[in-house]
């Protein structure tokens, strides 16, 4: 299962992303928000990332205005490796090399066409392991500093 969430700045784009996930046959759970009413992105990042870090969801997608606030909040949560992407190369390589488990992007930055390509690049690539595992282990050890 994939956990998805947004704030008011990402609400419209999240609707497009969910439609795309349905077309792809990807099972997801929408953690809100559920309208364009103003909310704090940190609250949504927390519930989505708790689902990922706790194993309820395998991966997460977070959309706010820029993707930046969501990614900052997400990366405060233990076990989360969130990447804010606005190009497909990064969305692909953050899976291959960083084993990112949460993808963030901005509803005021990317259009729906690019956003769906970001989602595909993220979902269609797997962590390569090898030398990257050592680096990820070091990154995750920083949580305990
Ligand atoms: C909300 O106005 C906006 O600050 C938020 O969506 C996001 O862009 C924060 O990083």
Domains, the chain, with CATH or none: 2-144 (3.40.1400.10)
Say which of 33, 64, 85, 104 is annotated catalytic.
Answer: 64
Torsion, Cα 117 5 66 135, to 10 degrees, reads -70
Over range 30-53, report the average pLDDT. Answer: 99
Residue nearest to atom 5 of ligand 1 (CA): 65
Ligand 1 touching residue 65 (CB < 6 A): yes
What would the pLDDT profile of 52-70 be if each residue is shown by its tens digit?
Answer: 999 999 999 999 999 999 9
pLDDT at residue 68, rounded to an integer: 99
* 104 classed as catalytic: no
* 97 classed as catalytic: yes
- Name the pTM for this structure: 0.98
């Amino acid at each position: 299962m994939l956990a998805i969430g947004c704030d008011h700045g990402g609400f419209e784009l999240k609707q497009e992303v969910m439609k795309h996930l349905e077309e792809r046959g990807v099972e997801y759970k929408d953690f809100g928000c559920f309208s364009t009413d103003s909310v704090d992105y940190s609250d949504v990042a927390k519930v989505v990332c708790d689902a990922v870090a706790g194993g309820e969801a395998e991966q997460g997608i977070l959309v706010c205005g820029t993707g930046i606030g969501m990614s900052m909040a997400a990366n405060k949560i233990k076990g989360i490796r969130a990447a804010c992407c606005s190009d497909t190369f990064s969305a692909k390589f953050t899976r291959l090399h960083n084993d990112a488990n949460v993808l963030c992007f901005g509803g005021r930055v990317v259009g729906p066409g690019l956003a769906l390509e970001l989602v595909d690049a993220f979902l269609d690539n797997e962590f390569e392991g090898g030398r990257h595992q050592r680096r990820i282990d070091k990154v995750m050890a920083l949580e305990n500093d």
